[in-house]
Amino acid sequence: MDIHTVQCPYCGEHLEVFIDRSVPRQEYIEDCQICCRPITLTVTLDLDDDTQAHVEARSEEE
């Protein structure tokens, strides 16, 4: 597992999330460690370069 830093869409704090590289595309909900609100995380791995991962963090309102 890798660690990636994202910004909470609610409070703006930077958080570390774990990335499971065994799944090329995944979406899950993780609570912010600061404000406790649910963040939807979408992780997409670059199939051409397995060292690259794109992580999108968004609120449930989006």
Into how many domains does the chain fold?
1
| Dihedral sign from CA coordinates of 18, 12, 32, 56 | negative
Between residues 50 and 31, the one the model is more confident about = 31
The C-alpha atoms of residue 54 and residue 37 are separated, in whole angstroms, by 21
- Domain interval for residue 52: 2-58
> Is the pLDDT assigned to residue 59 strictly greater than 90?
yes
- Model confidence band, residue 14 (pLDDT cutoffs 50, 70, 90): very high
Helix, strand, coil percentages in the chain from 3-state DSSP, rounded to 5? 0, 55, 45
For 1, the 3-state DSSP assignment is coil
pLDDT at 29: 95
| Digit-coded pLDDT (tens) for 37-56 | 999 999 999 877 766 889 99
Query: When comparing pLDDT for 21 and 16, which is higher?
Result: 16
